[in-house]
Amino acid sequence: MEKMNIQQIKDARDIKRTRDSVLVLGYFDGLHKGHKALFDQAREIAKRDQLELTVLTFNESPRLAFARFTPELLLNLTSPEKRYEKFSEYGVTDLYLIDFTSDFSKKTSKEFLETYIKALRAKTIVVGFDYKFGHDRKDANDLAEIFDGQVIVVPEVQDAGKKISSTRIRQEILLGNVSEVNRLLGYEFSIKGIVVHGDARGRTIGFPTANLAVLDRVYLPGDGVYVSDIIVSGKRYRSMTSIGKNVTFGGQDLRLEANIFDFDEDIYGETVEIIWLDKIRGMEKFSGADELVKRLKIDKEIAQNWGKNRKLF
């Protein structure tokens, strides 16, 4: 696979191209199955017309330039690293990243066409059915009228009769429906964290855990216990992961803890990746350690047996 070129730009003057492109436009925070449909089309066109598959997108949500700030606006469905990995996998040759600033938002559709699209040497543009652009909020049909090349509008992609969207996936994450999230994304939902010291209580009850400080700015699943896999030093292990406050022992802080099966090493300070597979149950308050251990044994058996004869996507 050809290595993808990633370029951070301030404005259209930073774009220096020598080859024509098929250009995909949009804000792809999760690169779900709906987004993938755009890249499937663009890849065919790139091959047919000998064009470079090019993307212009934003580092962060455009909403940051308009809405009153809340920390949630900085969260994404996937980390930038994962986004870049998927762009490359979907055949993107050149990825241009720009901040959605007040200045950028003031450009009209014609100004955007005459600067960015012209600089990107687009011969064909691929957008989703709900694409809007320019300060004057033009849509894909307007784009087709003012652009002298071909505009491909990819229709809505549905699952179970409903649109696959970032909003829908975000809601499923917060509800803890991670197996549904994986299906809608078309790949495994994961986060990276660094292993830090916790209370070490799990070790005393026979379920030692790796406590994680989350490194990615991504949405976290709702409180509960999950079937998960964890990647440590490039090796993948089955695990069960809990997220929430340790209510049985009066915990007040949100904790992310992974009990890694068939693993007995100290890995403090290491960066690991948690892959969320399915939810086992919500967080429960038990009468004490004995009741908790009984339930954890059941959880472990569920996690160990999960995935046998199961189609993931």
Report domain extents, the chain. 5-163, 189-305
pLDDT band at 249 (very low <50, low <70, confident <90, very high): very low
pLDDT of residue 201: 62
pLDDT band at 134 (very low <50, low <70, confident <90, very high): confident
Average pLDDT over residues 160-175: 95
Residue in 27, 31, 28 with CA at minimum distance from that of residue 185? 31
The mean of the pLDDT values for the chain is 91
pLDDT of residue 307: 83
Average pLDDT over residues 129-143: 89
Share of the chain above pLDDT 90, in %: 80
Q: What is the pTM of this model?
A: 0.90
Question: Does the structure show a pLDDT above 60 at 251?
Answer: no
Residue in 232, 311, 234 with CA at minimum distance from that of residue 277? 311
Residue 173 to residue 275: CA distance in whole angstroms: 13
Q: Is the dihedral of CA 105, 108, 110, 111 positive or negative?
A: negative
According to CATH, the topology of domain 5-163 is Rossmann fold (3.40.50)
One fold for 5-163 and 189-305: no
Average pLDDT over residues 192-218: 84
Q: Which residues contact 244 (CB under 8 A, 6 or more apart)?
A: 223, 224, 254, 255, 283
Residue 65 to residue 82: CA distance in whole angstroms: 24
Q: How far is CA 45 from the centre of its chain?
A: 26
pLDDT of residue 157: 95
pLDDT band at 288 (very low <50, low <70, confident <90, very high): confident
Average pLDDT over residues 231-256: 81
Average pLDDT over residues 277-285: 92
pLDDT of residue 29: 87
Q: Which of 13-17, 154-158, 197-201 has the weakest average pLDDT? A: 197-201
Residue 124 to residue 24: CA distance in whole angstroms: 9
Residue in 193, 189, 201, 242 with CA at minimum distance from that of residue 78? 189
Question: Does the structure show a pLDDT above 50 at 69?
Answer: yes
pLDDT of residue 35: 96
Average pLDDT over residues 191-204: 81
Token duo for residue 196:
């830090």
pLDDT band at 206 (very low <50, low <70, confident <90, very high): low
Residue 300 to residue 277: CA distance in whole angstroms: 14
Average pLDDT over residues 209-221: 94
Average pLDDT over residues 34-47: 97
Token duo for residue 225:
């216990």
According to CATH, the topology of domain 189-305 is Elongation Factor Tu (Ef-tu); domain 3 (2.40.30)
